[in-house]
Amino acid sequence: MNTTDLRPLPIVDNIIQGMHGEVVKEFSFEAMNISKELQRHVIEFVPSAPQTSIAAWRMRSTME
């Protein structure tokens, strides 16, 4: 998403600030690490520990 003059909107900054209270490059949230990529519109969600599958991670994260 861009502004009318085609500059990218800082959507990831807004999401991170809403979840973490401030804009940071990376932070932990429940059983995952959330990080801001180089672009202002890409966010990465990574399990904080190795998992055998997405289903295993989802089951584990709902039990915590």
What pTM does this model have? 0.58
Is the pLDDT confidence value at 59 over 80?
Answer: no
Calpha distance 20→5 (Å, rounded):
29
In this prediction, residue 64 carries a pLDDT of 59
- pLDDT tens digits along 15-40: 889 999 999 988 998 888 888 876 66
Residue 6: per-residue pLDDT? 84
Is residue 36 within 8 Å of residue 10, measured between CB atoms?
no
pLDDT of residue 3: 81
Rounded to whole angstroms, how far apart are CA atoms 4 and 31? 38
